[in-house]
A and B are shown apart, each in its own frame.
Chain A
Amino acid sequence: MEFLRILIRRVGYAAILLLAVIVLNFIMVHLAPGDIADTIAGDMGGATEEVMAEIREDYGLDKPMLVQLGSYVGGVLQGDLGHSYFFNQPVTKLIAERLPATLLLVISAQLLALIIGTLLGVISARKPNGITSHFVSLLALFGYSAPVFWTGIMLLITFSLLIPIFPVAGMVDVTLEGGFWTRFWDIAHHLVLPTITLASIFLALYSRLCRASMMEVLGSDYIRTARAKGLSESQIVLKHALKNSLSPVITLAGLQFSAVVSGAVLVETVFSWPGLGSLALQSILARDTPTILGILFFSALVVIVGNLLTDLALRLIDPRIRNQS
């Protein structure tokens, strides 16, 4: 029950955050010089004042901004994010088509970074001066310093062009025919390079933090107790130390969701991954306001849900957090 109450409060708070995101983005977009009518007119190669006024009326731009905001928020509450003039489709439908690809990329990159990062962190914590530990330090420097799109291009050149073992672009091979598993492996095959690229930023971050927290935990009193019990080294590390050292890593991973989504925009562009990122770029260049707003809304939603899940994971791991409200 306690848990449910916390969950409801969290979700309520998330809803307020989202509303704030909508309002800020809406205001920002409408403060910008020029509007849809200008863009459409530009596309048509010029238009008369009457046509412009007509377009503005169509999109409700002649009404006061507060009214526009109100009707936009009202629409969002009903699941209507408006109509994209550029793609000539409802924004909700556009995003629904692209969101799964982005989610797939973001989640697999976070998982890969977390799993490998934890693994490297644990190994290097056991031998702080060993090869793995130095490797983690180097990796951390690389992950922080290399522009992610460049890492992607380098991987692309190496593993798609020089050694062609992975596809160059896209998420599926449209020429491929077959059942579920064929398509599953096809997507997995396409997913490898983008995932590694995106994970490369965070992998080292997590492994470095995991190493630090693992080293601290390994020196703690309850690990000494575990040793005094005669437990094996693997039980001590994997059962007693790991669960305790994961909390800070998961907290950090939660904080990184916004950065992961940002990174995904670049990675999607490099690998022509059909997700929100490439949609965002197209709509931004086309100044397709409803789509831009919708994407900002959904990516904030992804970050917020990611944070919520992080919170839940932390509660699952650490009973001390679980028992406090």
Chain B
Amino acid sequence: MNTHSGTSAPALLSVKNLRVEIKTRDGVVPVIDDLSFDLPEGGNISFVGESGCGKSMTALALMGLLPQPAGRIAAGNILFDGEDLARATDARLREIRGNDISMIFQEPMTSLNPVYTIGEQIAEVLRRHQGKSRKEAHARAIELLDSVHIPSPQLRVDDYPHQLSGGQRQRVMIAIALACKPRILIADEPTTALDVTVQAQIFDLLTELREVTGTAIILITHDMGAVAQMSERMVVMYAGRKAEEGRVRDVIQQPRHPYTKGLISAVPHLLDTITDDRPELLEIPGIVPPLTEFGRPNCLFASRCDSATEKCQAARPGEIAFDNGHSSACFYADEMQP
């Protein structure tokens, strides 16, 4: 259940008890298991966790783009402005995608179609959702390229993706995503494939555009530094489940889940900037459990957890709530030392 209180205005996006199942050779696996969170208008939330924790699946589920025919939303609601996207028709989802909710992806090198100009790929979405003519859409595409700081956009608009660098391609992806002024932008590891210096530029650009457009951003990342820079709230995912949620500041200062603690410790400078004391650098031993173990009625992190007890192996922990909508799915959340 939605444990955190204090959100007064109705959320722009409210996900309730979402369960997403994927059919694999070994059976049906809940890749997202009972996930709930809210995103207010213009808000910012990050999803963090290692690869294979269900972050990207969450994004795809919100977009209605789960892999077909293997994936499906088995239970729960995705309320967008009061409308349940989990039950919307394909046609309705197509109207929303790229228009009200957009997404940018991890691999800018391969996310643009190599055989069309970038101008066409931007203009296309304007024609689709805003009914613009070819000429209008082309003109607007140039403006959009300018707004994502592509130099001499009048010339670059006719370039093909292979003529652009990775960072520029991601800027084009952002231009496509923001073309119709969406209310939510989902950024799935938008900088992972890019150089460090370019990463910072892309985050700066996203921050700038958020301030200009008021678009809410859902950032999916495994980079705690990016979370600290970009978001107000964060959700830590582990093996398809929400491990912890709260304000970024609260979570980083006092993680209430051993998994979060491990993630933070893996990035020492993060704490440097916020607190003076610097804990021992500690790695989380082991790996995310295989898909076949998802959905078991115990704490899935227990096998990697130092403080796991028999209770953790026997039952699935519920959420324990703290201040400011901070919550944790750990039996011993209360006892965690900061």
Contacts and interface: CB of A to CB of B under 8 A. Distances in A.
Contacts of B128: 229-231, 235
B114 A222 contact: yes
Nearest to B115: A243
Given A318-B115, A319-B115, A225 B124 contact: no
A9 interface: no
Given A220-B110, A221-B110, A228 B115 contact: no
Nearest to A222: B113
B29 to A, nearest CB: 20
B23 interface: no
Contact of B114 (A226, A230, A235, A320): A320
B138 to A, nearest CB: 16
Interface in A311-325: 317-320, 323
A235 B121 CA distance: 12
Contacts of A317: 115
Contacts of B96: 230
A93 interface: no
Interface in B56-111: 63, 65, 93-99, 102-103, 105, 107, 110-111
Contact of A225 (B112, B129, B162): B112
Nearest to A320: B162
Given A231-B128, A319-B160, A319-B162, A222 B110 contact: yes
Contact of B97 (A222, A229, A235): A229
Contacts of A226: 113
Contact of B113 (A228, A230, A244, A323): A244
A103 to B, nearest CB: 30
Given A221-B107, A319-B162, A323-B163, A227 B65 contact: yes
A232 interface: yes
A224 B105 contact: yes
A254 to B, nearest CB: 18
A244 B114 contact: yes
A319 B65 contact: no
A229 B98 contact: yes
B173 interface: yes
A144 to B, nearest CB: 30
A224 B114 contact: no
Nearest to A225: B111
Interface residues of B, number: 30
A98 interface: no
A240 interface: yes
B317 to A, nearest CB: 34
Contacts of B98: 228-231
A325 to B, nearest CB: 15
Given A319-B162, A320-B162, A323-B162, A228 B103 contact: yes
B32 interface: no
A231 B126 CA distance: 11
A228 B65 contact: yes
Nearest to A324: B162
Contacts of A235: 128
A229 B160 contact: no
Given A221-B105, A222-B111, A240-B113, A227 B162 contact: no
A56 B243 CA distance: 96
A79 B102 CA distance: 63
B150 interface: no
Residue from B63, B96, B111, B173 having most chain A Cβ neighbours under 10 A: B111
Residue from B102, B125, B129 having most chain A Cβ neighbours under 10 A: B125
Contacts of A320: 114, 160, 162
Contact of B99 (A230, A243, A319): A230
B115 A224 contact: no
Interface in A291-325: 317-320, 323
Contacts of A227: 63, 65, 97
A-B interface, 10 closest residue pairs, ranked by CB to CB distance from nearest: A230-B97, A229-B98, A230-B98, A221-B110, A319-B160, A222-B113, A230-B94, A221-B111, A228-B103, A229-B125
16 contacts: A222-B110, A222-B111, A224-B65, A225-B111, A227-B97, A228-B63, A228-B102, A228-B177, A229-B128, A230-B95, A230-B125, A231-B94, A232-B94, A244-B115, A318-B115, A323-B162
Given A235-B128, A323-B162, 15 more contacts: A222-B112, A222-B113, A224-B105, A225-B113, A228-B65, A228-B102, A229-B97, A229-B102, A229-B128, A230-B129, A232-B94, A240-B113, A244-B114, A319-B162, A320-B162
